[in-house]
Amino acid sequence: MSRPGNTIRLGLLCWIGSLALVLAKGPTPPPPRHHGYHKMMSLIMNNAMDGIMRAQEEWSPDDKQNIWELSGLDEGDIMTDSEETSRNAVREAESKWPGGVVPYHISDEFDDEEQQVIKGAMEEFHENSCIQFRPYKEGDSSWVAIKNDSPGCWSYVGRRGGGQVVNLGNRCVQHGVAAHELLHALGFHHQQSTHNRDKYVKIHWKNIRRGTERNFKRYPSSRVQDFNVPYDYESVMHYSSHAFSKNGKPTITPKEEGAFIGQRSRMSDKDLQKLKLMYGCESSTGGGITTENPDYDDHYRNDNFWSFHFSVQVSVILIWISVQVSVILIWISVQVAVILVYISFQVSVILIWISVQVSIILVRISVQVSVILILISVQVSVILIWISVQVSVILI
């Protein structure tokens, strides 16, 4: 009888386990609005995808090019929507994340180790700036969907509204690459596209692969801000010296002697300095808000408010579920115990009844057998006496 009870308990535990897992993983956002499928389709239609995938597979950490430069998009890794021109993309780059809070969702396609690498990159932002990546929650209007369902490493520039993919293809899950793509999502362009770059780097046009020259364009200062932070050779957003090279020779070299470009390990001090200025991390309010949109301030406070309350709500829900489940389990245990006692009682009564009946039958049989035996004994005795008398008479 304990089996149905165990099954119910097991079922409940599985249900609680699944629920806890869902709550721990957080909600899954709807499909991202900015997913880059049209670009991927266009690369496939132009027979460019095989080359991109091969180049990415063949890339090694010793390669002079950065892996994200091999993703086949604008400047290598900048995704735009189909209706956009690059010009619009620049304008949209002014879209910052309110309060520096960036909701994210990491796809299950990444294994634990890869997820740790991505979260490690986010941690670098947390430790060094006021940028806060936090898991997507129901109701978020903008978020970063970190995925691995397309080849290449790429991102949109700045907040786009709705979900926007940051793609980290097979070879792209590296700390520096993740930081680079997240900086794009935060609104950063490549360092060498800044308006005054020609003072700092030389572009070797003759070494650039035909058709990729536009990747070396500059943006006017009216469109891209440098926050008066000096040109940064060490930026993780800088092209490598061999980006888009057609002949293995450099395409971009520093004018300053001894300077190195194209490091891909982590954000530079100036990257962080610029990030903090862009998001007002060191403003007197300490709130990380530098935007012309006054609504952002409230939005920021609300975001933190809801973030805190979300944690409290999840805890309350978990405690409530635990209490409910405990009550249900206790109730089921009591019910099972009552049923078992009742059944035991019934079985005992039946057994006693059967025993009594059997005893009665046995006694009856014993009595009847005894009577028969007595009768037989008497009969035999009478016969023996009669025979004895007859024998005596004959003998006398």
- Catalytic site positions: 181
Pick the closer one to Zn ion by CB: 77 or 271.
Answer: 77
**Number of residues forming the site for Zn ion (CB under 5 A):** 1
Pick the closer one to Zn ion by CB: 89 or 289.
Answer: 89
Is 35 known as a binding-site position?
no
Spatial CB neighbours of 46, under 8 Å, sequence gap ≥ 6: none
Which positions from 63 through 82 interact with Zn ion, judged by CB under 5 A? 77
For residue 194, give the DSSP letter. S
> CA–CA distance from 89 to each of 55, 177, 291, 315 (Å)?
26, 21, 18, 41
Contact 133, 99 (CB under 8 A): no
CA 26 to chain centre: 8
Residue 275 CB, nearest distance to Zn ion (Å)? Answer: 15
d(CA 252, CA 342): 88
Residue type, 275: L
Contact 104, 136 (CB under 8 A): yes
Query: Which residue, 243, 264, 241, 73, is CA-closest to 177?
Result: 264
Give one word for 112, left, alpha or beta, with left for phi > 0 and alpha for psi -120 to 50: alpha
Is 309 known as a binding-site position?
no
Which positions from 6 through 25 interact with Zn ion, judged by CB under 5 A? none
For residue 170, give the DSSP letter. T
**Antiparallel, parallel or unpaired: β 101-106 and 132-135:** parallel
75: phi then psi, degrees, rounded to nearest 5: 55, 20
d(CA 278, CA 184): 13
366: phi then psi, degrees, rounded to nearest 5: -60, -45
Contact 143, 200 (CB under 8 A): no
- Residues across the chain: 396
Residue 76 CB, nearest distance to Zn ion (Å)? Answer: 6
Pick the closer one to Zn ion by CB: 136 or 239.
Answer: 239
Place of tokens 């980290």: 168
d(CA 296, CA 217): 32
135 bridge partner residues = 104
271 touching Zn ion, by CB under 5 A:
no
Pick the closer one to Zn ion by CB: 153 or 281.
Answer: 153
Residue 157 CB, nearest distance to Zn ion (Å)? Answer: 9
Contact 36, 154 (CB under 8 A): yes
d(CA 169, CA 152): 5
Residue 30 CB, nearest distance to Zn ion (Å)? Answer: 26
Residue nearest to Zn ion (CB): 77
Is 180 known as a binding-site position?
yes
Q: By CB under 5 A, name the binding residues for Zn ion.
A: 77
Annotated binding-site members for Zn(2+): 180, 184, 190
